[in-house]
Amino acid sequence: MPHRCDKQDVTLIMRPAQDGDAARLAELLGDFTVQQFLFLQGGPTTQDEQDFLERLRTTSEEIVWMVALRREAEGPEEFVGLTSLRRQRNNSRLTSGINLANRTLWGKGIAGATHVLRTWYAFCELGAYAIDSSYVEVNEASGRALAHAGYAEVGRQPRAHFTAGRWYDIVHMACYNPQTAGVLWPREDIPAAVREAMSRTEATLKKATSIIKPR
């Protein structure tokens, strides 16, 4: 699924794993700052990441895309991380995750563009009712990117993540499919914060629809 990023003159590509991704992922995940935000510890090896990608390839519980960039129309791809949708209850509710391991690209709109395509796939291809996600409170940029795509904060786990000598809250977010909101709220008593977030989700889906190439 290619997409031209808003804040960066690059094309975002979400694709299956390829040869060489495991080695690059292990290299990127060795960055301590990346580990702090992604609930990781230690230094993964190429074999660790190869085993990880193989488990993902053979599971039916999770859909995973490698995230890559192309800076020129015919230029090479640059692997930068991965994103996923994990099934909770068949396809009705999913958990999303993103690992933008190349932190030199943080704040460039890459995560936000990934959320756009992934949300479209969850709601328009899988028919999910909702997507859940979480982030460490200190990672405010992650929270903003999720909120922009239509996620609303639904709760916190106080002091649930320990890193760099401190405890931080884990913030839980949820994104609801505007097309099936009536199933979750049959009396239309949708909370105001959720209703406002769904308006952003509608904008996200409209944007994605204009980007995704038809089959």
Tell me the pLDDT tens digit for each residue of 140-151.
Answer: 989 999 999 999
* 121: DSSP letter: I
Q: Using CA atoms, how far apart are residues 185 and 202, in angstroms rounded to an integer?
A: 17
Write down all domains in the chain, each with its CATH number in brackets. Answer: 2-211 (3.40.630.30)
Comparing CA positions, the residue from 166, 177, 173 lying closest to residue 208 is 177
pLDDT digits (tens, 9 = 90+) for 90-141: 779 999 999 988 888 888 889 999 999 999 999 999 999 999 999 999 889 8
